[in-house]
Amino acid sequence: MVEHSIRPRHLTAGLAVLLALASPGFTRERGKDPFFQYVAGTENIQDGSRGNLEMGVDGLTFRTHDSSVSVPYSAIKLMQYRPDVSRKVRKAKVPWKVKPPDGGGKKNRYFAILFDDEEPKRPRHAMVLKVSPEAMRPYLAEIDLKSGKRVEVKGYEEYESFR
């Protein structure tokens, strides 16, 4: 009969491997998360930075690995989700640091937000995030509910069934 003994060193190493496998960062599929990409705006975020949109009680926050932008719901003046960036957003009098992309397509993919700063003397801000319709769907109702404002959605047949 062979006896197996578990040494504390082996137990600790095994536990460390199990914790690593169970951690959220390890189990996420690469390319699926984060869902949002910064493609235009007035904020100090690098063009193309990927991040997540967090819905808080008082506002929404776009968070990347090295920066974040918080937007109080009360400061939001316009929200749109469209296949392109609308003329209204493009022509907004904001100090663009990254200009909005041209063109579009058939499916909605740009979530644009125009918002004011908390200080009245500062100019209006803008943020345009690229996000797929599948990733954006769950956010639309929550944004409407928490902000008390509607996201203007450019409809197309597949999307209309969810609104």
| Number of compact structural domains in the chain | 1
Contact 35, 52 (CB under 8 A): yes
Please return the burial class of 143, using the count of CB atoms within 10 Å of its CB with bins 0-12, 13-18 and 19+: buried
Q: Is residue 7 part of a domain?
A: no
In angstroms, the CA 15 to CA 37 distance is 36
Please return the burial class of 93, using the count of CB atoms within 10 Å of its CB with bins 0-12, 13-18 and 19+: exposed
Across the strands, what pairs with 60? 55, 71
Q: Is residue 127 part of a domain?
A: yes
103 has pLDDT over 90: no
Q: Is residue 8 part of a domain?
A: no
Domain that holds residue 109: 32-160
What is the band of 45 on the pLDDT scale with cuts at 50, 70, 90? very high
pTM for this model (two decimals):
0.74
Tell me the residue type at 7.
Answer: R
CATH code, domain with 138 = 2.30.29.30
Q: Is residue 38 part of a domain?
A: yes
What is the band of 105 on the pLDDT scale with cuts at 50, 70, 90? confident
Instruction: Say what the pLDDT of residue 161 is.
Output: 45
In angstroms, the CA 108 to CA 132 distance is 7
Q: Is residue 20 part of a domain?
A: no
pLDDT digits (tens, 9 = 90+) for 117-146: 877 666 799 999 999 999 999 999 999 999
